[in-house]
């Protein structure tokens, strides 16, 4: 899939509405449409990168920015006592949208254990 028919590229272009938390030239943060916790938003690079598998050295700066904004935006969104960042990647990682995104998940309650045995 290229950027043309990618749902997150369409959000970047304003063709699909999203509840935005933050935007600049390189990244966009918006609330997940199906939140799994009181705080659940996504941070994406505006450039179309399908997944971490496709990310290369040329994406390091923007991915650093994505990660570097997580704490500030989580605090502003109300995740005062912590949060979890997830990047689902590929089939095994159960990625559904193939435009690289960082989930930021938090809220007042303790999250479930990351993985169960
Ligand atoms: P993943 O690819 O990491 O499995 O998850 C994709 C996430 O994107 C899901 O949590 C899903 O709820 C969210 N999502 C899918 N389509 C849309 C959309 O059109 N708008 C928003 N805000 N979130 C979306
Ligand atoms: Zn895209």
**Best of 1, 17, 33, 94 to mutate for ligand 1, by most ligand atoms within 8 A of CB?**
33
**pLDDT for res 54:** 98
Q: Which residues line the pocket of ligand 1, CB cutoff 6 A?
A: 7, 16, 18, 30-34, 88, 94-97
Closest CA to 18 of 8, 26, 27: 8
Answer yes or no: is pLDDT of 4 > 90.
Answer: no
Candidates 48, 99, 101, 103; catalytic one: 101
Contacts of 5 (CB under 8 A, 6+ apart): none
pLDDT band at 116; cut points 50, 70, 90: confident
**pLDDT for res 1:** 62
Answer yes or no: is pLDDT of 2 > 80.
Answer: no
pLDDT per residue as tens digits for the range 50-94: 999 999 999 999 999 999 999 999 999 999 999 999 999 999 999
- Segment (H or E) for 12: helix 7-12
């Amino acid at each position: 899939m290229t950027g043309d028919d990618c749902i997150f590229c369409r959000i970047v272009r304003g063709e699909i509405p999203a509840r935005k938390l933050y935007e600049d030239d390189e990244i966009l943060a918006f609330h997940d449409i199906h939140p799994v916790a009181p705080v659940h938003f996504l941070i994406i690079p505006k450039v179309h990168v399908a997944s971490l598998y496709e990310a290369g050295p040329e994406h390091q700066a923007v991915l650093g920015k994505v990660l570097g904004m997580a704490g500030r935006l989580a605090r502003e969104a109300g995740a005062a006592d912590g949060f979890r960042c997830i990047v689902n990647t590929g089939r095994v990682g159960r990625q559904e949208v193939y435009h690289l995104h960082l989930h930021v998940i938090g809220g007042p309650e303790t999250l479930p254990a990351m993985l169960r045995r």
